[in-house]
Amino acid sequence: MDEAYLDVTDSQTQQGSATLMAKEIKRRIREATQLTASAGVSYNKFLAKLASDRNKPDGLCLILPEQGKGIIAELPIGGFHGIGKATEAKMKALGVHCGNDLGRISLESLIQHFGKAGEHYYRIARGIDERQGNPNRPRAMSWLWIVIFLKLSLGRDQVKLSLSVSLLPTHYCFLIANQPKMCANFLPAPKSALVQGFKWPEPGFDYPGEAYVGYRAPIRVLTQDSGGAEYREAQFGLIPYWSKDTRISRHTYNARSETVAEKPSYRGPWKHRRYALVPMLGFFEPDYETGKAIRWKIGRRDGLPFTVAAIWDCWRTPDGGDTLLHSFSLLTLNADDHPVMGCFHGPEDEKRSLVIIQEEHREAWLQATPKDAFAFIRPMPPEEFTSEPSPRPARKSRTHA
The CATH code of the domain that includes 155 is 1.10.150.20
Tell me the range of 36-45, 141-150, 333-342, 379-388 where mean pLDDT is highest.
379-388
Residue 396 lies in a domain: no
Q: Is residue 322 included in any domain, yes or no?
A: yes
Radius of gyration of the chain (CA): 23
Residue 134 is predicted with a pLDDT of 43
Kindly state whether residues 126 and 274 are assigned to the same domain: no
- pLDDT tens digits for range 250-273: 889 999 999 999 999 999 999 999
Quick one: pLDDT band at residue 48, thresholds 50, 70, 90? confident
Q: Give the number of domains in the chain.
A: 2
Mean pLDDT lowest for which of 14-28, 34-48, 196-210, 235-249? Answer: 14-28
Q: What is the pLDDT of residue 398?
A: 47
| One domain for residues 85 and 199 | no
115 or 203, higher pLDDT: 203
Interval 374-395: pLDDT, tens: 999 999 999 999 999 998 876 5
Looking at the fold, whether 105 and 220 belong to one and the same domain comes out as: no
Out of 128, 151, 176, a domain closes at 176
CATH code for position 207: 3.90.1680.10
For residue 57, is the peptide bond before it cis, meaning its omega torsion is within 30 degrees of 0? yes
pLDDT tens for each residue of 192-231: 999 999 999 999 999 999 999 999 999 999 987 667 899 9
72/169 same-domain check: yes
Q: At which of 124, 149, 176 does a domain end?
A: 176
* CB contact at 8 A, 57 and 23: no
pLDDT of residue 152: 35
Kindly report the length of the chain.
Answer: 401
On whether both 312 and 165 belong to a single domain, the answer is: no
For residue 187, list its beta bridge partners. 282
CB hemisphere CA count around 356 (13 angstroms): 21
Task: Please state the φ and ψ torsions of residue 38, each to the nearest 5 degrees.
Answer: -105, 150
Q: Are residues 197 and 149 both part of a single domain?
A: no
Residues 142 and 213 in one domain: no
The conformational region for residue 227 under phi > 0 = left, psi -120 to 50 = alpha, else beta, is left
Query: Considering the domain boundaries, does residue 394 fall inside one?
Result: no
What domain range is 159 assigned to? Answer: 2-176
Statement to judge: residues 249 and 159 lie in one domain: no
The model carries a pTM of 0.60
Check residue 233 and give its pLDDT. 96
Q: Over 80: is that where the pLDDT of 64 sits?
A: yes
| Integer Cα distance of 246 and 302 in angstroms | 37
340 with 200, same domain: the answer is yes
Residues 195 and 171 in one domain: no
Does the residue 310 lie in any domain? yes
Classify burial at 159, counting beta carbons within 10 Å of its beta carbon; exposed 0-12, middle 13-18, buried 19 or more.
exposed
pLDDT at 333: 93
Tell me, yes or no, whether 164 and 268 share the same domain: no
Does some domain include residue 399? no
Position 137: which residue type?
A: R
Q: Does residue 397 lie within any of the structural domains?
A: no
Q: Which of 176, 204, 229 is the C-terminal boundary of a domain?
A: 176
pLDDT at 7 over 70: no
Give yes or no: residues 168 and 302 share one domain: no
pLDDT reported for residue 316 = 87
Side chain identity, residue 106: S
- Residue 14 belongs to some domain of the structure: yes
